[in-house]
Every structure is written in structure tokens, then in C-alpha cells.
């Protein structure tokens, strides 16, 4: 395990501590309200695992003009979890065996990068284990549809309560339903009336669409 510290400083009770400096966009100011972003908390705990220090200061400049700082204590439980995860990761690196796929965005990104394009008109017969995965997929789709409908119903009822009002409060929560004006390029009209200009600036992207349907 390695650590690249921005600096160290002294705490009257904890002794030598880590100092870490960050910058953040004004759009992320809310992430620094009474807390620090999770990724930085993990970074500080990793650094404390490496150095043995019992505390860390983190300072951030938000939007170029708002300064904040926080002190973070050593968390032995979180450090133990990090050590296990990092050890597992390094074992995979050394053995050159990728970790098992799961439902994370990282797994989805890995698959998209490993298999970026499909071979036209190609088809295979999947192993028998695909049947269990399809059953899981169908069950998840049904649950998602139910949960999505339940969420939409709650949203609709809250909107009805708000009516013409932009915001409302309930307990410690603030609910907003604001009017938003956007300007969008009418690409269909641009393509019809100025095809050459459209072709000059059109941005083509490629991706693989996943779907499950009955075989014909």
C-alpha cells in the first residue's frame, strides 16, 4: 500500500496528521455541507492506514472563492474494509484474473470497452446457465416496473399538492417543482433545410443496445 500525501501537520491531541488539499466546482458545494465526498473519505482513511496517523485535515476551495476545511479521525473499521478490498484487487492484478462481474457501473463499463462492437448477423447458443440469468432479469424488470410506478404515483400526488407553487416543505424536506426553460437545436429542421451544414457538425456515436425478447 502506498500514499502520496500533500503534506503533514500537527494536531494538539492526535499528533502528526495528514494534510490534503482539494478544489471543487461550485456545482458540488452541497457535497461539502457538514461532510466530505465519499471518495475523499476513503482516500484519507487509506492514507492513515499507510502512515499509521490518527487524523487528517482536508481543505477545499469551492468555485475558486469559498474555502472550507474539516478534520477526519481514523476509522479502524473502514480501514480494515479498505485493506481487504485493496488486497483482493491486488491479488487479481498479480494473477491477471479479472474480478467476477456484478451489477456495478464498473462492470458495465468494462464490458462495453472489452466488446465495443458486435459482429453483424452473428448468433450463438448460450449455455444453460443463461436460463437462470434470464429468470433473474425478468423478475428484476417486474420489480422495477412496480417500484417505478409507485415512485411516479408519489411524485404525481406531491405535484398536485404543490399546484402552482414552486416549493413546499414537509418535515425536514424541501420539495420543488420549478419551471425550466431550455433551448434545443432542432436537428430535424437543420438536416432538412441545411444538409451540408448538418453533416459538418453532426456527432455520430456508436454503442451496443441490449434487449431480451421472444425468439422468432
Q: Do the beta carbons of residue 81 and residue 64 sit within 8 Å?
A: no
CA angle 156, 160, 161 (to 5 degrees): 120
Identify the three-state secondary structure at position 19: strand
Distance CA 173, CA 162 (A): 14
Beta strands 15-24 and 55-62, pairing class: parallel
Angle, vertex CA 115, rays to CA 114 and CA 116, nearest 5: 105
Given pLDDT bands bounded at 50, 70 and 90, which one contains residue 211? Answer: confident
Please tell me the predicted confidence (pLDDT) of residue 207.
83
Query: Is the model's pLDDT at 156 over the cut of 80?
Result: yes
pTM: 0.59
Place of cell 455541507: 33
State how far the alpha carbon of 112 is from the alpha carbons of 29, 80, 106, in Å.
32, 32, 10
- pLDDT(205) > 90: no
Instruction: Please say if the pLDDT value at position 126 is more than 90.
Output: yes
CA nearest to 47, candidates 79, 86, 23, 11: 79
What is the pLDDT confidence band of residue 183, given thresholds at 50, 70 and 90? confident
Percent of the chain with pLDDT over 70: 100
Amino acid at each position: 500500500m502506498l500514499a502520496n500525501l500533500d503534506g503533514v501537520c500537527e494536531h494538539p491531541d492526535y499528533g502528526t496528521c495528514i494534510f490534503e488539499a482539494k478544489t471543487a466546482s461550485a456545482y458540488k458545494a452541497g457535497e461539502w455541507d457538514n461532510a466530505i465526498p465519499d471518495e475523499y473519505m476513503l482516500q484519507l482513511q487509506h492514507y492513515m492506514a499507510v502512515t499509521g496517523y490518527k487524523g487528517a485535515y482536508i481543505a477545499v476551495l469551492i468555485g475558486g472563492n469559498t474555502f472550507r476545511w474539516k478534520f477526519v479521525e481514523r476509522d479502524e473499521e473502514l480501514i480494515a474494509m479498505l485493506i481487504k478490498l485493496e488486497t483482493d484487487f491486488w491479488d487479481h492484478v498479480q494473477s491477471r484474473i479479472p474480478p467476477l462481474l456484478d451489477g456495478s457501473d464498473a462492470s458495465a463499463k468494462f464490458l462495453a470497452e472489452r466488446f465495443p462492437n458486435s459482429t453483424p448477423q452473428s448468433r450463438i447458443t448460450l449455455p444453460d446457465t443463461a436460463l437462470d440469468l434470464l429468470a433473474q432479469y425478468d423478475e428484476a424488470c417486474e420489480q422495477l416496473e412496480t417500484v417505478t410506478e409507485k415512485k411516479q404515483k408519489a411524485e404525481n400526488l406531491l405535484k398536485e399538492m404543490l399546484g402552482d407553487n414552486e416549493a413546499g416543505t414537509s418535515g425536514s424536506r424541501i420539495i420543488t417543482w420549478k419551471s425550466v426553460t431550455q433551448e434545443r437545436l432542432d436537428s430535424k429542421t437543420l438536416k432538412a433545410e441545411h444538409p451540408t451544414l448538418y453533416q459538418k457538425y453532426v456527432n455520430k456515436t456508436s454503442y451496443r443496445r441490449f434487449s431480451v425478447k421472444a425468439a422468432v
